Amino acid sequence: MLELAVLAVIVVVVTMMYNSLVKLRETADGAWADVDVQLKRRHDLVPNLVETVKGYAGHEKDTFEAVVNARSRAMNAGSPAEAAAAENMLTGALKSLFALSENYPDLRAAENFGQLQQTLSGLEDDIQKSRRYYNAVVRDYNTKIGQVPTNLVARTFGFKEREFFEAQGAEREVPKVDFGE
């Protein structure tokens, strides 16, 4: 009888650990989806921004191509590490695009350009919040996978650590974007 009770307790404890891992895994998936939504919003804004600037600075072809190529790479990124690298490349290309506004006072004064800048600024804040939340959930998930005795359950059922969504090297620096304000 005691053996049956001990076995029942073990089953309950393993089930609770398994369920907590599933919950964290699903929360991480949801957090990544939130990051992805914010990045998609950013990607959708870029063509409008490029077209607006083209109207004032149509001969700046290299800058436009760099933005379009960076956007394409960012949209096709797979893992969080690839997405972080591609998004940082897009941020750099957008910085170059905004730098053009310094040479075109009419562009800086355009209402549409100003609205796009404000929208992008808000999106950058939303992306930062989404990234932070995702990384917090991944930290909790990875910690749980590494802790005893949950690590035994994680290994048994194939739970794998997740990648953080983080910048690397020089990309860690805060971008300085001058909106001409």
Report the C-alpha gap between 152 and 40 in whole angstroms. 37
pLDDT value of position 114: 83
Sign of CA dihedral 59, 64, 69, 70: positive
C-alpha distances in angstroms, 67 versus 1, 2, 38, 85, 96? Answer: 70, 68, 18, 14, 9
pLDDT value of position 29: 95
Q: Kindly state whether residue 35 falls inside one of the protein's structural domains.
A: yes
pLDDT value of position 61: 80
Q: Kindly state whether residue 83 falls inside one of the protein's structural domains.
A: yes
- Provide the CATH number for the domain around residue 82: 1.20.1440.20
pLDDT value of position 52: 85
Phi, psi of 59 (to 5 degrees): -85, 5
Q: Kindly state whether residue 2 falls inside one of the protein's structural domains.
A: no
Q: Kindly state whether residue 44 falls inside one of the protein's structural domains.
A: yes
Average pLDDT across each block of 10 residues of the chain; the chain has 181 residues. List them in order. Answer: 93 96 97 94 90 80 88 90 90 86 79 86 93 96 96 96 77 50 46
pLDDT value of position 180: 52
User: What range defines the domain where residue 117 resides?
Assistant: 14-172
Q: Kindly state whether residue 4 falls inside one of the protein's structural domains.
A: no
